[in-house]
Amino acid sequence: MSPSRDELETEALESSLTTELDREVTDSTVIDNGLNLICSVSTATEADAYVVRRPNKLRQTGLFVDLRQEYRILDRLRETPVDAPEPVHYCDDPSIIGGPFVVMTHLDGESIPLGTALPERFQRPAARERVATAVVDALAEIHALETTRFEGVCEYQSPREQVTRALERVRAAESVVGHELPMLRGTGERLQENAPAPSETETTVVHGDFRPSNLLFAGETNPRITGVLDWETAMLGDPHTELGYLLLRWRDEGDPTLSLADLETRASDDALEEISQLNEHGLAPYTANPGSPSREELIDRYEQQTGRTVDHERYYRAHAAFLLATVWADLYRHEVETLAEVATEAETAGDRTASATDADELSEWLPRIEYMTLFARAILDGTFDH
């Protein structure tokens, strides 16, 4: 297993980077240890700061490109209009921090994590509008990149192929977690049947996980984007799948709420509270506040910036909700496998104490998956939109 936040020894990392970067590394600090281990790296030269990323979860599921390929994608982004970290070093020696990692340049700015409010300085109507338009403009900029530059490092996936691959992962998750997910599979099958034909779509570079938490924002009175992060899901594909993924996170005033009657009988109180908040306020609650554009206005802005006409918007939002539910199924599977591994190690060591807390945490995944599946179905059926 990978070292935890507390277990990570930074001395070997700092020594290695001092040699590889030809800079005196003075400090390294773990700033996140979720899907990826992320460390900030300081050097004796104040202007030279770096970030280390080491994958922790799901790299073997087919959801993400491998780390070397991610490095190559970042390299292709150099000298393009898209602001992204520049890769400076790839290391495949697992002895340093427990697995392969990449080093990239540090970019100034702060992200907006899922479910959080905007930074206080952006909590004015004009600033909210500027945040939204900057996000759409950054998306349009990615979709304007020359695809030939990314051939060989980004694989093509049609909307239907994305769903097909996701369904394969769902079946793999079912076999591990011991729960069938028939509604999720059925939703995927509907999306396969109704997917736009390749002749109806364009092909662009697609980031694959484009959302405010993967963007860096700076500025005081005039918010601006200083970087697009986390390119491990980049591909060539239909740009409207990515627009749908962004729109999924946008809450319109007057959006309805879904009935949670079925979930209320099965979900724990904590899980039900989380889902109720999600149902009432959406994935990004600030998007319904004064000044923030509606989904329709975001589409208008995207069409203006790209010259494309957005058709089948409802399909693409449902597509995004389905894919998000399948990622949660991936995470559920990963946590079950990890818990089993920990239990085996504990039993080998003679510790037979059950981890009730971990088991309770795992029980929260099913209601989340079911809720997002209900959301995808409601969008497809046309019962969500007001």
Q: Which domains does the chain have, with CATH numbers?
A: 10-14+24-105 (3.30.200.20), 120-381 (3.90.1200.10)
Predicted confidence at residue 345, as pLDDT, reads 65
For tokens 């736009």, the residue is 196
Instruction: Give me the phi and psi of 102, to 5 degrees please.
Output: -120, 150
Low-confidence ranges of the chain (pLDDT < 50): 1-6, 356-357
8 A C-beta contact, residue 309 and residue 303: yes
Predicted confidence at residue 364, as pLDDT, reads 86
Predicted confidence at residue 10, as pLDDT, reads 83
27: β partners: 42
The tally of CA atoms less than 13 A away on the side-chain side of residue 138 is: 25
**Burial class of 362 by CB neighbour count within 10 A (0 to 12, 13 to 18, 19+):** middle
Predicted confidence at residue 358, as pLDDT, reads 54
How far apart, in whole angstroms, are the C-alpha atoms of residue 223 and residue 225? 7
Helices 313-348 and 365-381: angle between axes, nearest 10 degrees: 170
Predicted confidence at residue 348, as pLDDT, reads 66
Dig out the tokens for 329 from the structure: 């199924």
Mean model confidence pLDDT for the chain: 91
Predicted confidence at residue 9, as pLDDT, reads 73
Predicted confidence at residue 362, as pLDDT, reads 60
How far apart, in whole angstroms, are the C-alpha atoms of residue 57 and residue 36? 7
